[in-house]
Amino acid sequence: MASLYTHQAANIRKTWFLMTGFLVIIVGLGWLMSQLYGNAAILYGAIAFSLFMNVTAYWFSDKIALASTGAKPADENQYRELHRILENLAITAGIQKPRLYIVDDPAPNAFATGRNAKHAVVAVTTGLLARLDRSELEGVIAHELSHIGNRDILVMTVAVVLAGAVAMLTDIFLRISFFGGNNNDNKNPILLIAGIAAIILAPIAAQLIQLAVSRKREFLADASGALLTRYPDGLASALQKISSYGAPMRRANHATAHLFISNPFGAHERGKFIAKIFATHPPVEERVAALTQMRV
């Protein structure tokens, strides 16, 4: 059965795969654009940019993720019970208590971030605190602690920064291609078509790399979290409440969606065909079914 420390080495390898994949995409784009415009400086700039973003993703991705969601440190007096739940479960899990943050948002959700257990953060929304009872809240916190113990958070958080970097770079190249000062008529038509195709397809490739991190991590974190609390029904009930909330989070975006315990775009988004194809989470029904079948 899955344990809290299952697949740690595999997730470290996935982090390197993720960073290498984005490096290849960005350098490939830089090479195409340098050939298209006959300027080697574009390639060198792309290499420097990709290296810079990889370093940034590793060291500062947690701060970027927290800033993008508007999370603030949870006051120990105001959220004393939440701090106590987090501390008790962290002791049970055998890891250092993460920093606790609050996201002022009525949509119930939560996420964990950070490059390792020592620098980890758990963030929950005010909507989560308002809608869940204690056993359900413990299930959610245990799920997030399992992401920390399984070393998922490094993979998940690095993906936020690197996917955003690819999107930003492709947007710049696309604007240069269509609005640049040079005349496109003088360029190699094959390179021009390849360059524009790469610019359009690169963000899709970045999204697929994010999905390659594997939706199975949610099943593993669910199972590990249930083992921590010894009460799978608490997390199962929490997932049902979270997924039934219709409205999206105020600052929901596709770059950080995979960080959350459930889709931050609300129940209405999950019914859309495109949303299903690029879903960052397995169906809630499957997760609940797996939890209800557990014996702890």
Q: Is 144 a catalytic residue?
A: yes
Provide the strand spans (E) within the chain.
Answer: 72-73, 99-103, 110-113, 121-125
Residue among 136, 138, 144, 218 flagged as catalytic: 144
CA distance 146 to 228: 9
Order of strands, edge to edge, in the sheet holding 110-113?
72-73, 99-103, 121-125, 110-113
Looking at the DSSP bridge assignments, the partners of residue 122 are 100, 112
The values of phi and psi at residue 108, to 5°, are: -75, 125
264 touches 107 (CB < 8 A): yes
Q: Is 133 exposed, middle or buried (0-12, 13-18, 19+ CB in 10 A)?
A: exposed
Q: Where in the sequence numbering do the catalytic residues fall? A: 144
